[in-house]
């Protein structure tokens, strides 16, 4: 079922398009595009001074560009702004950015032609993915410039697994290169679609991750024979937090009926915080994600192009503003990175307890033949390394600052880098969680006695074991970690 863009998209809808769902525009959206373009045409015809339409950009904002050169200005903006470096973004990331750009134009205040949006929709429909270097943005500009190159038959794209020039790619999908009109070059690189699209992916992955983190935490809690009284609803209700109550409910459901926990009841007064505080930490992350999601939806609902056009063709209005700076979503992505990093850090602490014979009550390092075999000793090193990496990445990008464009742009929020590092933190967190899941499956295999697992954890234990056999130091453990990450990247666990 295609997703219809009439009113602004939600982050969930944008993530679905990024994953491959079709996107179409409503008739009302097409009318808004046409109306805004008519306003730009009137500005051009009447010579009304407008940034990026008949002036240079950035530090050249006061240089007038005569009408005969306005097409060349649009093309030149794309060429000069296509300065990205580094490995290309993935397909989902590029689709997400294109989706967010279309959403921005469909507000009807940018003034690009409907034909330009048709070209972008064709890229999505045909899964023709522009090659977009991942690095080089201080907030916006470079990523969209590389997408724009393909629209005009330049740059590179991947179609059906083959890297093609922009012109070859357009020909493959039955399109011809666009000749950009006034303002289109600026609108293609301006605004916040890069961070907005990427943020939808951050949220989509983070919600899936936290559901799986509940599963891993429940397994660790059970394997370490902890005290479930910490999760009782009457006690958790003393602290006000929707996320904490939801986490508590999920933990109770996952652990209900555990014979392992029943046999260990009353063994100790309270457990370590990495076990006892699961509802508090996971709940805080859930609460943060709810706030972040509202901010990202707010960004989808906002115009981020500069300048914005309003009024009518008969009475055109143009407003130079700073909507593209996007501090709200920059701060939200910094918060997302911190929240995900904390979730992963707590998972590593549970993992350490599983492999540590001083506290686990299990064979040292979960090794099948201790001494001859090291088991999960070094896998925990990897998790510790990734926690440190996340700690470095979680430093706020929005505080980086910097000055560009000859003092014209002297405050930068680094919104897109904030989203990119949140995605890297998610990569690291998925690896950490994969190791915890593997360690838990191994711990179940090494449990003494024949006490049954909870039905809720049994499902996931069997799912892991159906794909990954017990570890005997008989193969590189890295392959098992990759396989476990593949399991947790599924979306079937349930919504967070």
Structure confidence at residue 432 (pLDDT):
98
Q: Is 389 a catalytic residue?
A: no
* Complete domains list, the chain, with CATH: 3-190 (1.10.275.10), 198-488 (1.20.200.10)
For residues 411 and 460, what is the distance between their CA atoms, to the nearest angstrom?
Answer: 48
Structure confidence at residue 405 (pLDDT):
61
Structure confidence at residue 372 (pLDDT):
87
483: tokens are 């396989």
Residues 347, 351, 356, 357, Cα dihedral to 10°: 120
- Residue-level pLDDT, tens digit, the chain, 496 residues: 899 999 999 999 999 999 999 999 999 999 999 999 999 999 999 988 888 888 878 777 777 788 888 899 899 999 999 999 999 999 999 999 999 999 999 999 999 999 999 999 999 999 999 999 998 877 677 899 999 999 999 999 999 999 999 999 999 999 999 999 999 999 999 989 999 999 999 999 999 999 999 999 999 999 999 999 999 999 999 999 999 999 999 999 999 999 999 998 888 889 999 999 999 999 999 999 999 999 999 999 999 998 999 999 999 999 988 788 888 999 999 999 999 999 999 999 999 999 999 999 999 999 988 778 999 999 999 999 999 999 999 999 888 666 666 656 666 777 899 999 999 999 999 999 999 999 999 999 999 888 999 999 999 999 999 999 999 999 999 999 999 999 999 865 543 3
For residues 197 and 214, what is the distance between their CA atoms, to the nearest angstrom?
Answer: 27
Structure confidence at residue 495 (pLDDT):
39
Name the nearest CA neighbour of 387 among 324, 445, 433. Answer: 433
Name the nearest CA neighbour of 225 among 376, 361, 368. Answer: 361
Name the nearest CA neighbour of 428 among 458, 390, 478. Answer: 390
Bridge pairing between strands 162-165 and 156-159: antiparallel
Catalytic residue among 51, 140, 461, 471: 51
Can you give the pTM of this predicted structure?
Answer: 0.95
Residue 170 backbone class (left: φ over 0; alpha: ψ -120 to 50; beta: rest): alpha
Structure confidence at residue 51 (pLDDT):
84
Name the nearest CA neighbour of 81 among 138, 129, 120, 31. Answer: 138
For residues 369 and 473, what is the distance between their CA atoms, to the nearest angstrom?
Answer: 9
Name the nearest CA neighbour of 188 among 107, 78, 103, 85. Answer: 78
Structure confidence at residue 407 (pLDDT):
58
């Amino acid at each position: 079922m295609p997703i219809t863009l009439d009113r602004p998209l939600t982050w969930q809808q944008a993530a679905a398009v990024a994953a491959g769902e079709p996107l179409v525009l409503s008739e009302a959206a097409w009318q808004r595009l046409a109306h805004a373009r008519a306003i730009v045409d009137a500005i051009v015809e009447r010579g009304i001074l407008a940034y990026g339409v008949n002036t240079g950009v950035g530090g050249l904002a006061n240089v007038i560009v005569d009408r005969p050169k306005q097409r060349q200005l649009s093309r030149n903006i794309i060429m000069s702004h296509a300065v990205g470096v580094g490995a290309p973004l993935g397909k989902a990331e590029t689709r997400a950015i294109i989706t967010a750009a279309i959403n921005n134009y469909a507000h009807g205040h940018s003034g690009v032609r409907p034909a330009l949006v048709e070209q972008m929709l064709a890229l999505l429909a045909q899964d023709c993915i522009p090659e977009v270097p991942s690095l080089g943005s201080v907030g916006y500009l470079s990523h969209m410039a590389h997408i724009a190159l393909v629209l005009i038959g330049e740059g590179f794209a991947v179609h059906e697994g083959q890297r093609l020039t922009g012109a070859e790619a357009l020909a493959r999908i039955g399109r011809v290169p666009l000749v950009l009109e006034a303002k289109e070059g600026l609108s293609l690189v301006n605004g916040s679609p890069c961070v907005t699209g990427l943020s939808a992916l951050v949220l989509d992955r983070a919600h899936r991750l936290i559901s799986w983190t509940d599963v891993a935490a429940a397994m660790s809690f059970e394997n370490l024979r902890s005290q479930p009284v910490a999760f009782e609803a009457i006690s958790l209700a003393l602290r006000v937090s929707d996320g904490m109550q939801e986490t508590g409910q999920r933990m109770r459901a996952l652990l209900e009926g555990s014979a392992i926990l029943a046999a260990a009841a009353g063994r100790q007064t309270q457990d370590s915080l990495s076990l006892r505080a699961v509802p508090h930490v996971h709940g805080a992350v859930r609460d943060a994600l709810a706030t972040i999601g509202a901010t990202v939806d707010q960004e989808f609902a906002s115009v981020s192009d500069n300048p914005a056009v309003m009024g009518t063709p008969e009475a055109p209005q143009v407003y130079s503003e700073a909507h593209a700076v996007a501090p709200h979503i920059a701060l939200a992505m910094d918060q997302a990175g911190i929240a995900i990093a904390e979730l992963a850090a707590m998972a590593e602490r549970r993992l350490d307890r599983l492999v540590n014979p001083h506290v686990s009550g299990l064979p040292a390092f979960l090794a099948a033949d201790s001494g001859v075999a090291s088991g999960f000793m070094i896998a925990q090193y990897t998790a510790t390394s990734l926690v440190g990496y996340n700690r470095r990445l979680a430093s706020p990008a929005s505080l980086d600052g910097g000055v560009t464009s000859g003092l014209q742009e002297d405050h930068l929020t680094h919104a897109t880098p904030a989203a990119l590092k949140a995605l890297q933190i998610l990569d690291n967190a998925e690896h950490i969680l994969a190791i915890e899941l593997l360690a838990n499956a191994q711990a179940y295999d090494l449990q003494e006695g024949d006490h049954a697992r909870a039905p809720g954890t049994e499902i996931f234990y069997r799912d892991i074991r159906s794909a990954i056999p017990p570890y005997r130091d008989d193969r590189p453990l890295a392959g098992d970690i990759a396989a476990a990450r593949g399991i947790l990247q599924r979306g079937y666990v349930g919504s967070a």
